[in-house]
Amino acid sequence: MTQRLHLVFGGELLEPSMNVFKDVENLHIVGMFPDYDTAYNAWKAEAQKSVDNAHMRYFIAHLHRLRDEEVAASATEELG
């Protein structure tokens, strides 16, 4: 069975128009989720909490897209 892991995280951006974090060491890691729907619900809850802060953004990272089960070494493993 293939897992479709998703990571939800967020933090304060330098500029609302850019996806550059102000302080990477203080990112809010919401958690890992087994499917997109669960990740989306977590993302939405966190995003709604910070709606008044234009610099705060939350993201869903599709971790399953970093892996290719059919290839012996994925692109991320080759970077190591």
**CATH number, position 13:** 3.30.70.2400
- Residue 42, in any domain of the structure: yes
Amino acid 31: pLDDT: 97
What average pLDDT does the structure give for the chain? 86
Q: Which two tokens stand for residue 80?
A: 């190591």
- Residue 41, in any domain of the structure: yes
Rounded Cα distance, 15 and 13, in Å: 5
pTM across the whole model: 0.77
Please identify every stretch of the chain with a pLDDT value under 50, giving residue numbers as ranges: 79-80
Q: Are 22 and 38 in contact (CB under 8 A)?
A: no
Read off the pLDDT of residues 31-54 as tens digits, 9 standing for 90 and up. 999 999 999 999 999 999 999 999
